[in-house]
């Protein structure tokens, strides 16, 4: 187990800045290339139903130029399934999506939608995509993700990061314990375990230290930090912290 922890850099919010002005820049595809050069092991992009950040053209551009795997985040809708089947990215991460939310607030309710999701992901798997399911650290959801045939689970670290930011350290530590136990549980079922959402330089190390976690997907903090220190140095510092925690 263990091995090098992969860093997937999520470039959605480069597109957020671009779209704030309806301009052609900054270009998320250019950001993805810089991220690869700075040590990202993969690029993550979420094509939302409302196209608030990443666009269809961005996905085309990423597929054309990336030399590392694309982790394509999407809701479980027919439209997104068609797009994924056209591009056949390395990985598809199924996330819940609500129009009114600011970001992906919770994990997917796999247990409640098991049948539909099993049928939904089957063609993606047949097309050669690794299917990942974004879920809370909850045994019921992990078992359901396993039953529907997902190869990967991504554990939602948002609650852990929020508790940290709000200074609720007892709740933070309880959530971290849950994440650690559920990472081990998912791994014991044969699932590849990833984690992400809301991670920062302050919160990344305890999660990076879980030996069962193979990949972290990090976006908003890195893109924000890039304003101050540049994108490549912001990524390299995240990489350094991850490697330090893992060592």
Contact between 198 and ligand PXP by CB under 6 A: the answer reads yes
Q: Which of 36, 41, 58, 73 lies at the binding interface for ligand PXP (CB under 6 A)?
A: 73
Contact between 93 and ligand PXP by CB under 6 A: the answer reads yes
Residues 6+ apart with CB under 8 A from 191: 142, 145, 146, 150, 151, 152, 153
Q: Which of 72, 120, 134, 185 lies at the binding interface for ligand PXP (CB under 6 A)?
A: 134
Contact between 197 and ligand PXP by CB under 6 A: the answer reads yes
SS3 readout for 69-138 = CEEEEECCCHHHHHHHHHHCCCEEEECCCCCCCCCCCCCCCCHHHHHHHHHHHHHHHHCCCEEEEEECCC
Q: Which one, 21 or 102, has the nearer CB to ligand PXP?
A: 102
DSSP state of 48: -
With beta carbons less than 8 A apart as the criterion, state whether 198 and 105 touch.
Answer: no
Binding segment (CB under 6 A) for ligand PXP, from list 116-124, 179-187, 193-201, 225-233? 193-201
Q: Which of 13, 53, 73, 97 is flagged as catalytic?
A: 73
**Omega before 26 within 30 of 0, i.e. cis:** yes
Contact between 52 and ligand PXP by CB under 6 A: the answer reads no
Q: Which of 147, 220, 239, 246 lies at the binding interface for ligand PXP (CB under 6 A)?
A: 220
Q: Hey, what are 171's tokens? A: 């709740």
Sign of torsion, CA 181 183 184 185?
positive
Binding segment (CB under 6 A) for ligand PXP, from list 22-30, 123-131, 182-190, 214-222? 214-222
- List residues with catalytic annotation: 46, 73, 197
Q: Which residues bind ligand PXP (CB under 6 A)?
A: 10, 12, 46, 73, 93, 95, 104, 134, 154, 196-199, 217-221
């Amino acid at each position: 187990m263990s091995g090098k922890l992969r860093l997937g850099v999520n470039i959605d919010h480069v597109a957020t800045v671009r779209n704030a002005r309806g301009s052609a820049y900054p270009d998320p595809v250019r950001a993805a290339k810089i991220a690869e050069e700075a040590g990202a092991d993969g690029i993550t992009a979420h094509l939302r139903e409302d196209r608030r950040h990443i666009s269809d053209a961005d996905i085309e551009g990423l597929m054309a130029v990336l030399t590392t795997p694309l982790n394509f985040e999407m809701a479980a809708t027919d439209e997104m399934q068609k797009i994924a089947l056209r591009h056949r990215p390395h990985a598809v991460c199924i996330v819940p999506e609500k129009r009114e939310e600011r970001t992906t607030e919770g994990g997917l309710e796999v247990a409640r939608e098991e049948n539909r999701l099993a049928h939904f992901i089957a063609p993606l798997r047949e097309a050669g995509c690794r299917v990942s399911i974004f879920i809370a650290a909850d045994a019921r959801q992990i078992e359901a993700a396993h039953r529907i045939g997902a190869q990967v689970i991504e554990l939602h670290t948002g609650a852990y990061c929020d508790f940290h930011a709000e200074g609720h350290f007892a709740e933070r530590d309880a959530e971290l314990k849950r994440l650690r136990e559920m990472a081990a549980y998912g791994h014991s079922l044969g699932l590849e375990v990833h984690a992400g959402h809301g991670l920062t330089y302050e919160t990344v190390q305890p999660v990076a230290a879980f030996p069962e976690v193979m990949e972290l997907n990090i976006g908003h903090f890195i893109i924000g930090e890039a304003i101050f220190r540049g994108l490549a140095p912001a990524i390299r510092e995240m990489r350094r912290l991850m490697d330090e925690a893992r060592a």
